[in-house]
Amino acid sequence: MKKLSLSDRAVYFGFTIIPVALYSVFYVFQVLGGMFYSLTDWNGMAKTYSMNGLKNYAWLLQNPNFWRSLGTTFRYSTLLVIFTLALSLILALTMDSLKNWVQTLAKSIFFIPAMLSAVTVALIWSQIYYRAIPVIGEALNIGVLKASPLANLQTTLFATVFVNVWQSVAIPSLIFIAGLQSIPHELYESAMIDSASILQRFHYITLPHLMPTMVVNLVLLVKNGFTTFDYPYALTQGGPARATEVIAISIVNDAFRDYRFSIANAEAVILFIIIASISFVQIWLTSKGDAYK
């Protein structure tokens, strides 16, 4: 391999200055600043503040609303992962069995929701939930549908997750299709010669080869679930009675509604630690991906 000259190295280094500077200003410095302010009593408005150590974190650990929002986030993420993975796998298996032109058309149709913004999708479904669903419930005389599911404490979280799943299912489906198309067809032909059933072919051929893809989709969905904000905020703003108040909404409310900026930063740091842990798991599981092949 040819050794780079000093001038070539200078040119390559010059091309990295701008992206590194932008990444540092808009991400690294912000993260470090958030960690610093989480150790203060700053309210986001005052010109002065004082250091108070880990008091913000201690206050959060004793605050039931924080644990409730964290629990809601866990439930939200769990529902999002289960339903999105199941539906995207079913869609991928279905579309992979279609003819090429039909498959292309199906991909285009299912990818339309992914091209819309989360807020746009949430506002559309908000109108459906508040205007269309009650009308259908009255017409069919179904008690649970006579009111908006967003106004019911028992159904509001499921209704919010449904909107997220509806938009999020497209990309995992495409990732699964890419994984399916990488499986050698000779394996299926050999299994059919041995009279293997559809379920046996899925269990012993399809599923093992899809495990690396499954891991990628799983971790991405978990991270999306923990950082979700647009859907619950646009649909319910965390209500009713904080039933859909995920931790991201709690952070925004603490920072810009209650002016507890240092508390909000402490929550953000905790969320950062959770997501960093999930990312670590992603790297570890991805490194084990060859074991599934």
CATH number, position 174:
1.10.3720.10
Report yes or no on 80 lying in a domain. yes
Q: Is there a single domain that holds both residue 75 and residue 211? A: yes
Q: Is there a single domain that holds both residue 94 and residue 170? A: yes
Which residues, at least 6 apart from 199, have a Cβ–Cβ distance to it below 8 Å?
none
**Dist CA 106 CA 82 (whole Å):** 23
Place of tokens 């069919």: 140
Report yes or no on 58 lying in a domain. no
User: For residue 144, what pLDDT is reported?
Assistant: 78
Report yes or no on 231 lying in a domain. yes
Report yes or no on 280 lying in a domain. yes
Percent of the chain with pLDDT over 70: 94
Number of domains in the chain: 2
**Dist CA 161 CA 76 (whole Å):** 7
User: For residue 1, what pLDDT is reported?
Assistant: 53
Helix locations, the chain, DSSP H: 6-23, 29-37, 55-61, 64-96, 100-115, 118-127, 133-140, 156-168, 170-181, 185-193, 198-201, 207-226, 230-235, 247-252, 261-287
Q: Is there a single domain that holds both residue 130 and residue 218? A: yes
Q: Per-residue pLDDT averaged across 152-166, rounded? A: 93
User: For residue 293, what pLDDT is reported?
Assistant: 47
Give the DSSP H or E segment for 116: none
Q: Is there a single domain that holds both residue 19 and residue 158? A: no
Which domain does 229 fall in, by range? 64-292
Report yes or no on 49 lying in a domain. no
Q: Is there a single domain that holds both residue 87 and residue 163? A: yes
Q: Is there a single domain that holds both residue 19 and residue 151? A: no
Report yes or no on 43 lying in a domain. no
For residue 74, pLDDT over 50 is answered with yes
Q: Per-residue pLDDT averaged across 258-267, rounded? A: 92
Q: Is there a single domain that holds both residue 172 and residue 242? A: yes
Q: Per-residue pLDDT averaged across 249-256, rounded? A: 92
User: For residue 292, what pLDDT is reported?
Assistant: 44
Q: Is there a single domain that holds both residue 171 and residue 273? A: yes
For residue 85, pLDDT over 80 is answered with yes
How far from 271 is each of 22, 158, 266, CA to CA, in Å? 23, 23, 9
Q: Which of 142-146, 169-173, 179-183, 241-245 has the lowest mean pLDDT?
A: 142-146
Q: Is there a single domain that holds both residue 218 and residue 122? A: yes
Report yes or no on 194 lying in a domain. yes
Single pTM value for the model: 0.85
Q: Is there a single domain that holds both residue 149 and residue 288? A: yes
For residue 12, pLDDT over 60 is answered with yes
Position 286 confidence tier, pLDDT thresholds 50, 70, 90: low
Q: Is there a single domain that holds both residue 85 and residue 204? A: yes
Q: Is there a single domain that holds both residue 74 and residue 20? A: no
Three-state DSSP class for residue 40: strand
Q: How many CB atoms are closer than 10 A to CB 209?
A: 18
Report yes or no on 151 lying in a domain. yes
For residue 106, pLDDT over 90 is answered with no
Position 30 confidence tier, pLDDT thresholds 50, 70, 90: confident
